Structure 1
Amino acid sequence: MFKFFRSLHNWLGLILVVQITLWFLSGLIMSILPIEQVRGEHLRQFVSTQWQQASVSPQQVLQQHGAKASLSLSQQLSWQNDQLTATPAYLVNEATKVYRYSAVSGELLPELAEPEIRTLALAQYQGDGELLAAQLLQQLPQEVGHLPAPLWQIQFADSNNSRFYLDPATGAVMRVRTDNWRWFDFFWMLHIMDYQDRSNFNNPLLITFSASALLFTLSGMVLLWRRFRPRRSKKAALTIND
């Protein structure tokens, strides 16, 4: 039996050595990177929304949509008198399309023009770079691929290679992506072994390797027990036999 466990342990070690190393390395890197900087929270200005201004309820908005529509809270930003202000807004997702409503008036929000988007992006940006480019994307890159299109991509010339993704109707920053986030995302991909979408934590490859790593650990424990288990001395054995 111990010969079987030794063979199993050796073969599993040969198969798993690379992935186990990647698990430890990726876990170490992700724990070192501050999550606030990964999310880019230090680069954006957060504006509080005065929800007491809302006069339209979510139920009133959802009545205009189907039963499968979902609603989330958001904010509509504006730049007035050199000050960034936010009023309450609703985002309704229905059949892969997003509708934006003012929570004050209940009206659909029109898409903002590029000069307004640039102004709002700069107002929310707290870095030290200049605005390089603004582009309305109908097809989103992988780093924000789970969000609904379209979104405005705002590129800044800073050491973080920062990109802000703004809602085209509210002007709110939906996501911030930096080089720190891209490194984190790369090591997250290695950690969960989802090399395509980088989001499926239950993929068969991860489950298979995790189960194999568990067998590797258990077989190692059996071999350690055999090696270090207490042994009766010959003198004690002779005494028992007498």
Structure 2
Amino acid sequence: MPIIKQFHKWASLLVGIQMVIWLITGLFFNLMDFNFFSGNTYRDLSRPAINPAEQQKLIPIEQALNTHQEALEPVSQVKLITMLEQPYYLLAHNLPAHHYWPVNATLINANTGKIQHIDENFAQQIAVKSYIGTGKVSRIEKLPPPFSDVPKERNNLWRIDFTDDVATSVYINEHTGRIVAHVNDWRRFRDIMFMLHFMDYQREGSFNNVFAIVFGFIALTLSVSGMIWLVQLIASGQLRFSLNALRHKLTLKNNNEKAPLTPESPHQITINNHHGERLKRVELTEHQQLLELNLLDGLAQHNLSLTSDCGGGGSCGLCRVKLTKSSPVHPAEREKLSKKQLEQGVRLACQHACTGVSEVQLLRPLT
């Protein structure tokens, strides 16, 4: 049982932290401006179309294929696209299910019939053409996956950085010349929130990741351990349900068993050993009896707070009081108290219901 309690405590902490993260990130997603955080602050989103009159002047695709027949791999699909105000045939040699999966393609200029390679100069032209900001190109490099800015992408990409106020980066597909994304600091912040929300700490671009699976397992075992603990509390009599409200007196004594306990403030008790006054009596209300509060909570409701770090879970062992020697001993008390202390009647206040106690002796100053 101690192992189950420790696991339940730490699992509760982990689940609680992730719940707070979900609350914060979920609120962010509900309030954020999608366009602002899209990364397209300085992106030209216009899509120029091919003039039908000019299209008739293009080299037929059959002629282009025959010209490069020996250099080309088998073609699965042909598309006519516009790039840098020029028409190109995009020959796909494979057909991936998603555009970010590995692609093998060839570009042929539809006016000249020549194969166009996406080299550094051509990639820079594409990036500059799509950029409407005032920044200048600061760096160009070809990178293999994975990419922190576009985690799903599995193709080699050209990255072109611009010197603007939001650190814009443009990613160009090495094979197709497609603009994969414009990414800036605002989009990077959004991606961090997505990472936290979906627990995608390995930046796979997916919520179906190992951290989410492990978290689901922890949440499941948290529920199971909570049920086991609940059954144990009921079986040991520490948790009882009652429909009868019985009048019950709770007597409080100080450590010397003579002076009265007088609440001075919500968090302090004044112990006077010198006046021989009557011992103070605290009477439980009917509502408190129905709830069957434990002694720790019952004292707290009368502004008499015992020291406790676990909130009444029986794991810290700090809320020690002295009851009658015949008071039942619960499992948590066997773990936290010595045999000699148990024989003297020392018990944990959080483990005993107020209605089962007629007299209690405090062993340390109240906080």
Normalising by structure 1, what TM-score? 0.62
CA contact (8 A) 1:109 1:170 kept: no
Match of 1:65 in 2: 74
Aligned positions of 1:74-153 closer than 5 A:
75-78=81-84, 85-87=85-87, 89-90=89-90, 92=92, 94=94, 96-102=102-108, 104=110, 109-139=115-145, 141-153=147-159
**Can you list the C-alpha shifts for 1:114-139, whole angstroms capped at 9, x where unaligned?**
33433332221012212111222345
Seen in structure 2, the aligned counterparts of structure 1 residues 204 and 151 have a Cα distance that, compared at 3 Å, is closer
SS in 1 for 2:134: coil
Residue 22 (str. 1) matches residue 21 (str. 2): yes
Match of 1:35 in 2: 34
CA contact (8 A) 2:151 2:204 kept: no
CA contact (8 A) 2:156 2:174 kept: yes
Match of 1:157 in 2: 163
* Unpaired runs of at least 5, structure 2: 1-7, 66-71, 97-101, 227-242, 244-367
Match of 1:235 in 2: none
Rounded to whole Å, the distance in 1 between the matches of 2:13 and 2:145 is 42
**Could you tell me which amino acid in structure 2 is paired with residue 41 of structure 1?**
N
Rounded to whole Å, the distance in 1 between the matches of 2:103 and 2:20 is 42
2:172 to 163, 166, 171: 166
Match of 1:223 in 2: none
CA deviation after TM superposition for structure 1 residue 174, in Å:
1.9
Rounded to whole Å, the distance in 1 between the matches of 2:83 and 2:201 is 36
CA deviation after TM superposition for structure 1 residue 87, in Å:
2.7
Identity %: 21
SS in 2 for 1:42: coil
Seen in structure 2, the aligned counterparts of structure 1 residues 115 and 128 have a Cα distance that, compared at 3 Å, is same
**Can you list the C-alpha shifts for 1:187-218, whole angstroms capped at 9, x where unaligned?**
111111121133232235425645838x97xx
Match of 1:239 in 2: none
CA deviation after TM superposition for structure 1 residue 51, in Å:
8.7
Rounded to whole Å, the distance in 2 between the matches of 1:35 and 1:73 is 31
Aligned positions of 1:202-221 closer than 5 A:
202-203=208-209, 205-207=211-213, 209=215, 212=219
CA deviation after TM superposition for structure 1 residue 164, in Å:
0.3
**Can you list the C-alpha shifts for 1:88-130, whole angstroms capped at 9, x where unaligned?**
5436264945212348479673214433433332221012212
SS in 2 for 1:123: helix
CA contact (8 A) 1:164 1:177 kept: yes
**Can you list the C-alpha shifts for 1:28-61, whole angstroms capped at 9, x where unaligned?**
223333222333233211323339648649xx9x
Structure whose CA Rg is larger: 2
SS in 2 for 1:136: strand
Number of residues of Structure 1 aligned to a counterpart in Structure 2: 206
**Can you list the C-alpha shifts for 1:128-158, whole angstroms capped at 9, x where unaligned?**
2121112223455332343344322110011
CA contact (8 A) 2:89 2:109 kept: yes
Larger helix fraction of residues = 1
Seen in structure 2, the aligned counterparts of structure 1 residues 11 and 134 have a Cα distance that, compared at 3 Å, is closer
CA deviation after TM superposition for structure 1 residue 159, in Å:
1.4
Rounded to whole Å, the distance in 2 between the matches of 1:174 and 1:50 is 21
Normalising by structure 2, what TM-score? 0.44
Rounded to whole Å, the distance in 2 between the matches of 1:204 and 1:144 is 19
Rounded to whole Å, the distance in 2 between the matches of 1:192 and 1:51 is 45
Seen in structure 2, the aligned counterparts of structure 1 residues 129 and 144 have a Cα distance that, compared at 3 Å, is same
Higher relative CO (Cα under 8 Å, sequence separation at least 6) belongs to 1
1:186 to 189, 192, 208: 192
CA contact (8 A) 1:56 1:106 kept: no
**Could you tell me which amino acid in structure 1 is paired with residue 133 of structure 2?**
G
Rounded to whole Å, the distance in 2 between the matches of 1:93 and 1:33 is 40
CA contact (8 A) 1:100 1:108 kept: no
Match of 1:50 in 2: 50
